[in-house]
Chain A
Amino acid sequence: MWRYSRISDLDLDSYTLAAPSATVVPPALQPILDAIGARSALVIGGQPVGPVADGLVIGLDDQPAPLGEVAGEPDALVALNAAFCELLTMRVEKGTVLRDPVVVVTWVDGDGTSLFPRTLVNAEAGADAGIIEILASPDVASLVVPVTEVDLADGAHLKYLTIQVLGPRVWQVGTQASRLGRDADFLSYNVALGGDYARVRSESVLAGAGGTSRLLAMFLGDDRQMHDFATVQSHRGKHTTSDLLFKGAVANDSHSVYRGLIRVEKGASGTNAYQTNRNLVLGQGAHADSVPTLEIEENDVRCSHASAVGPIDEEQRFYLESRGVPPEMADRLIVSGFLDDVLERVPVPQLLPWLRATLAERLAQAEAVRP
Chain B
Amino acid sequence: MSHVLLIEGLRANVGSKEILRGIDLEVNSGEVHVVMGPNGSGKSTLSHVIAGRPGYEVTGGKVTLDGLDLLTLPAWKRARAGLFLAMQYPIEVPGVSLVDALSAAFVSNGRPPALVPDLLAAEADRVGLDRRFLLRPLNVDLSGGERKRNETVQLGVIGPLFAVLDEIDSGLDVDALRAVARRIEGATAESGLGVLAITHYNRLLNELHADRIHVLIEGRIVASGGPELAEELETTGYAAYGVDEPVVVGAAVGAARLAGAAGAASGAGNGGRPGASAARTDLDPFADPFA
Contact = CB atoms under 8 A, between A and B. Distances in A.
Given A318-B54, A329-B108, A323 B101 contact: yes
A340 B196 CA distance: 36
Dominant secondary structure at the A interface: helix
State which size class the interface on A falls in. 20 to 34
Given A329-B104, A337-B96, A321 B75 contact: yes
A270 interface: no
Interface string A324-366: 1111011001101111110000000000000000000000000
A340 B96 CA distance: 8
15 contacts: A315-B91, A316-B92, A316-B93, A318-B52, A319-B138, A321-B79, A322-B52, A322-B53, A322-B87, A324-B79, A326-B76, A334-B93, A337-B95, A337-B137, A341-B94
Interface residues of B, number: 32
B89 to A, nearest CB: 10
A324 B108 contact: yes
Contacts, number: 88
Given A315-B54, A325-B76, 18 more contacts: A315-B53, A318-B52, A318-B53, A320-B101, A320-B104, A322-B52, A322-B75, A322-B76, A322-B79, A325-B101, A326-B108, A327-B74, A329-B104, A334-B96, A337-B100, A338-B95, A340-B94, A341-B95
A336 B79 contact: no
B102 interface: yes
A156 to B, nearest CB: 33
Interface string B84-115: 11010011111110001110110111000000
A86 B133 CA distance: 51
Contacts of A319: 87, 90-91, 93, 138
Interface string A248-275: 0000000000000000000000000000
Contacts of B76: 321-322, 324-327, 330
Interface in B41-55: 51-54
Contact of A336 (B78, B96, B158): B96
A341 B141 CA distance: 15
